[in-house]
């Protein structure tokens, strides 16, 4: 059960946004955001929690909003 103020991010949304922005690889997204590629991989697979700071950096790189990565279904 999620806590009232806990935000759940959907890693698949990060991958979809990356591909939609024609950023073909996780390495390229890593270079654009300054977030290591292994962390990008973990985020996309849902193996790591996405911090708001990382969400904002990824959103800037893909041309979206950090709230695009929130899973509202949880």
Cα angle 18, 19, 24 (rounded to 5 degrees) comes to: 95
Q: What is the pLDDT of residue 73?
A: 74
User: pTM of the prediction?
Assistant: 0.84
Domain positions in the chain: 11-64
DSSP letter string, 24-74: --HHHHHHHHT--HHHHHHHHTT-SPPPHHHHHHHHHHHTS-GGGGB-TT-
> Mean pLDDT over residues 42-55, rounded?
91
| Domain 11-64: assigned CATH number | 1.10.260.40
> Mean pLDDT over residues 32-58, rounded?
94
Quickly tell me which residue has 């193996």 as its tokens.
47
Confidence of residue 8 (pLDDT cuts 50, 70, 90): confident
Confidence of residue 40 (pLDDT cuts 50, 70, 90): very high
Q: What is the pLDDT of residue 2?
A: 46
> Mean pLDDT over residues 63-69, rounded?
91
């Amino acid at each position: 059960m999620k806590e009232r103020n806990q935000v759940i991010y959907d890693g698949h949304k990060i991958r979809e946004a990356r591909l939609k922005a024609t950023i073909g690889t996780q390495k390229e997204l890593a270079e654009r955001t300054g977030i290591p590629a292994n962390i990008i991989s973990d985020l996309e697979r849902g193996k790591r929690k996405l911090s708001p700071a990382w969400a904002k950096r990824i959103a800037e790189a893909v041309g979206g909003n950090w709230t695009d990565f929130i899973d509202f279904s949880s």
